[in-house]
Amino acid sequence: MLSVSSFDWELGRWSSGKIPAATLCIAGDWAPIRHFKKTIETDPVSIYGDLGPVIQSADLSIVNLEAPLSDQGTPVCKSGAVFKGETKHIRGLTALPFDAVTLANNHVFDFGLGAFQETLATLEKNQIQWTGAGMSVEEAAKPLILTAGGLKIAIVNFSEGEDLTAAGKGPGVMGWEIAWLETQIQALKQAVDRVIVIAHCGLEYIPFAPPYVMDAFERMAEAGADAVIGHHPHVPQGIKFHHGVPICCSLGNFVFYQDTNLYFRKLGYMVNIGLTKDALVSLDLLPYKIQDQGLSALKDQDRQTFFTRFKEISLPLDTPRGIIDSWNGFLDHYGKTGFKNEVTMLMEKMKTEPQKGAAMFRNRLTTSQHFYHWQDILTRMAKGEMDTSPGWARDLAQEWLNRRLDKKRSEIR
């Protein structure tokens, strides 16, 4: 059974020895923005570098579309940045091609309903399937059924519904409806061969998923998911094996350029899953670095270093105590000063940009990642428990949030 002891931490893989009937490649956040925008327009295949053939070799491939692809719309007022590609950027997805995209994220409605609808039309026109958002909660929650190698594979996609974008009677993304999703997965197990859950959630940039995310992911596994894959934090986070089900907490950035020299924002990994009618039979993690010209698979010492650190952020997830200690390490690193500075920034923003400030403050109160962040750090303050987490947890939080690339070597190490 897939477990901490059976997973090859040096190679980032596991195999039961059985030949898969179908393979599924899952990648993280994709958006035609910033430095990558022009390359996606002019030479889309090159953006993937030596990862392109790996993606193409899978029977099925799926990526998170982190921006609408539309030639219309105006930016919405929301907490964070707004992103938008154009319909011509669909070439970046068809160049390989990707078979499907997930849409349950915090950016697909950044330019309003019209841009979202044009995105769906553009995907449909180019034979790219989608799941995770829609004109109602029923449409947003509808799983995507993919077929390959004689298998029916269900993709279940959800997110936190950040900035009040969760679907209800009207349009939106599939939000944080964990009980609903459990019931859906249980029903799907009777109708398809395998179920893969892909979620967009968690606090950004930290090395460990918060306890509320781990709880939700474990519930997905217990409901019958064969794998649970997360993204949104923009940095790689570790893997947990819950009763034999792999839970990848965050894949990190993919084709998503951030203009920074922060080390962990320039790393990510894809997941290759081998499936049969009976089980998940193989798992490969494929790490890469993100450079100005595109993506490149990690090799030799860089790859070895990645998996050494990956094991370090994965092993604490094996126990409930480790999950709590990891989270508390971040809370202690953030500290009273971090909380005070954030609240001060929000209040100043409400003075200088009232609408933007209100949206930012609202998001802190209504989105799970910020709600639990504030609730848990205030609880630690109220109980006098600050700075009691293990040193290793605080050290990892410090490193993940602050480590920078070595400019002398200009490489990931």
Location of structure tokens 């794998």 = 227
The pLDDT of residue 309: 98
The mean pLDDT of 28-44, rounded to a whole number, is 97
Per-residue pLDDT at 408: 54
Q: Whole-number mean pLDDT of the chain?
A: 97
Q: Pick the closest to residue 62 from 272, 296, 284, 280 (CA basis).
A: 272
pLDDT at 151: 98
Of 85, 212, 229, 206, nearest to 157 by C-alpha is 229
pLDDT > 70 fraction of the chain, expressed in percent and rounded: 98
Calculate mean pLDDT across residues 59-68. Answer: 98
For residues 310 and 237, is the Cβ–Cβ distance under 8 A? no
Q: Please state, in angstroms and rounded to a whole number, the distance separating the CA atoms of residues 116 and 114.
A: 5
Q: What is the pLDDT of residues 235-244, one digit of tens each?
A: 999 999 999 9
Per-residue model confidence (pLDDT) at position 407: 65
The tokens 């059976």 sit on which residue? 6
Over the stretch 80-97, which tens digit does the pLDDT of each residue have? Answer: 999 999 999 999 999 999
Concatenated DSSP letters of 110-134: TTHHHHHHHHHHHHHHTT-EEESEE
Confidence class for position 291, pLDDT limits 50, 70, 90: very high
pLDDT given at position 298: 98
Torsion over CA: 179, 24, 241, 106 (sign):
negative
Cβ count within 10 A of residue 319: 11
Question: For residue 411, what pLDDT band results from cuts at 50, 70 and 90?
Answer: low
pLDDT at 406: 83
Over range 385-396, report the average pLDDT: 98
Distance between CA 378 and CA 335 in Å, rounded? 10
Answer whether residue 413 shows pLDDT above 80: no
The whole-model pTM stands at 0.97
Q: What are the residue ranges of CATH 3.60.21.10 in the chain? A: 13-301
In this prediction, residue 282 carries a pLDDT of: 98
Q: Are 102 and 155 in contact (CB under 8 A)?
A: yes
The confidence score (pLDDT) of residue 412 equals 54
**What is d(CA 385, CA 380) in angstroms, rounded to the nearest whole number?**
5
pLDDT of residue 35: 93
Lookup: tokens for 312: 């370090």
The tokens of 57 are what? 């070799």
CATH 3.40.640.10 fits 13-301, yes or no: no
- Order of strands across the sheet that contains 194-200: 144-148, 151-159, 194-200, 227-231, 245-248, 239-242
pLDDT at 163: 97
